[in-house]
Amino acid sequence: MIDMNTEMMVSLSGIREEMYPVTEEETGKTIHRPAYFSGMKALLEGAYSFASFFEKMHLMQKVYVGNEPEDFLFSLDTGEMEYVGGEEGFREVSGDGEVVLPGENPLSISEFAAPELIMAVKEGSPLHFNNETDRYFISVFLFEYFFHTGSPFEGKMMVNRCFLAPMEKEVFRAEQGIFCMDVGDHGNQPVKGIQDKLIRYWKVYPDLLQKMFMRAFMNGAQSPFLRPSAVDWMKVIIHLIMDYKDCSCGYHGFSFTLKEQENGTRTCPGCGKIYYPLSNGMDTLWLSEGQKLYECQTGRVPFDKEKVTGIVVENRQRKGLYGIKNLGTAEWRGMFPDGSIREIGQNQAMPIWNGMRLRFELGEDWFLRLHYQEPEETEDMLPISGETDPADHEEKG
């Protein structure tokens, strides 16, 4: 857990309402201040901290038996998270991977409870908490965290229905609920004027995040084994962190917001900086001058998003020619359009050209294919190995 001043942090309710209460020292009065993260990177860091905390608990063979989102606080400046629910909130599982509690446990009655927990309460059966119930809690929490809204099932079908008690509402959700962003069933779409933040924020994020929530609530609502795990969420959030662009001109956004060009590159809508697509067939790294690469992208530690292992720099001798400079200790292998292969050692660089292929430490090939043919490369354009000077691709300044 993180040791920090929790008075300077906000809970999920503050994030949803975009306001949080603060007590004035002089008057003792409670006022409300805006609750916005300092930037997208801080928001994503908070989501990553939340998912990784659950993975840490699972590695310790513990699961969450609470149902209270206010147990998790976030720093609006950095995204760091603090769990304040106490040790009883997480309990060690038995040999069969579960914690069993009496069915009358009131903490189970809310939108954060997995359907199987709600049905157990309805039937008066014991509550079985396990990794699958945690996966449901994580998904609901992150849905409300990212979209500043209520339950993932609270669309027009539930908004327009009268429920006499919280239990009746949650039983209906568990038995008949439809994910409000279900692409195949529009019977429970979000309601304008009530769920405007969900409608607005859903479009802000790449479809990778949207598909994760579809997996959680369309497939995983009744099939627990299909729910995304904490590690699944960590992988997606890492991808979002790496994909988010902060251009030097002040523009910021995910790569899908960049302007697509006919040749396959993209440009910054603010200044026109070019982004080159380096793809492994599944994912794409959008490269531009100053763009950093990290261990989680090029190395053997999939969740190391702090260690810089590469950077895109301009060739000092040939303006307009860029390369990926290796800042790590592991060698890369560059395969050029003419078929030649060269080792890219520390402080050496691989020029960014149409037809290039680059193999990072893990041995996976990344390639660049544009929709036009670059001029034929010559030896004097390859300042990356042999007798050439690695400083030709040193970072400017």
CATH code, domain carrying 115: 1.10.510.10
Domain identity same for 281 and 196? no
- Residue 299 covered by a domain: yes
Domain identity same for 297 and 379? yes
Q: Which of 191, 211, 237 is the last residue of a domain?
A: 237
Looking up residue 343, the CATH number of its domain turns out to be: 2.60.200.20
Domain identity same for 226 and 357? no
Q: Which of 237, 256, 279 is the last residue of a domain?
A: 237
Domain identity same for 268 and 213? no
Tell me the one-letter amino acid at 323. G
Q: What is the DSSP letter of 48?
A: H
Mind listing the pLDDT tens digit for each residue in 312-343? 999 888 888 899 999 999 999 999 888 899 99
Measuring CA to CA, which residue among 321, 352, 355 is closest to residue 336? 355
Task: Please report, for residues 13, 119, 251, 359, 375, the alpha-carbon distance to residue 50 in angstroms, rounded to integers and kept in the order given.
Answer: 15, 27, 28, 32, 49
Task: Please report, for residues 47, 54, 200, 201, 244, the alpha-carbon distance to residue 204 in angstroms, rounded to integers and kept in the order given.
Answer: 16, 26, 7, 5, 11
Domain identity same for 262 and 225? no
Task: Please report, for residues 309, 362, 375, the alpha-carbon distance to residue 330 in angstroms, rounded to integers and kept in the order given.
Answer: 9, 10, 30
DSSP 283-303: -EEEE-TT-EEEHHHHSS-TT
Mind listing the pLDDT tens digit for each residue in 147-174? 999 999 999 998 888 888 888 999 999 9
- What pLDDT, on the 0 to 100 scale, is given for residue 105? 58
Domain identity same for 254 and 355? yes
- What pLDDT, on the 0 to 100 scale, is given for residue 220? 63
- Residue 294 covered by a domain: yes
Pairing type for strands 30-34 and 19-23 reads antiparallel
Domain identity same for 263 and 377? yes
Q: Which of 185, 214, 237 is the last residue of a domain?
A: 237
Domain identity same for 182 and 291? no
- The C-alpha atoms of residue 195 and residue 157 are separated, in whole angstroms, by 13
- Residue 328 covered by a domain: yes
Cα of 257 vs its chain's centroid, Å: 17
DSSP 158-176: HHTS--SSHHHHHHHHHHH
Domain identity same for 218 and 310? no
- The C-alpha atoms of residue 337 and residue 228 are separated, in whole angstroms, by 40
Domain count of the fold of the chain: 2
- What pLDDT, on the 0 to 100 scale, is given for residue 109? 81
Domain identity same for 292 and 180? no
Domain identity same for 299 and 190? no
Which residues in the chain show pLDDT less than 50? 1-6, 374-397
Q: Residue 300 belongs to what domain range? A: 247-393
Q: What is the DSSP letter of 192?
A: T
- What pLDDT, on the 0 to 100 scale, is given for residue 183? 85
Exposure string over 255-283, b if 16+ CB within 10 A, otherwise e: beebeeeeeebbebeeeebbbbbbeeeee
Q: Which two tokens stand for residue 299?
A: 């190395």
Domain identity same for 269 and 192? no
pTM for the whole thing? 0.89
- Residue 242 covered by a domain: no
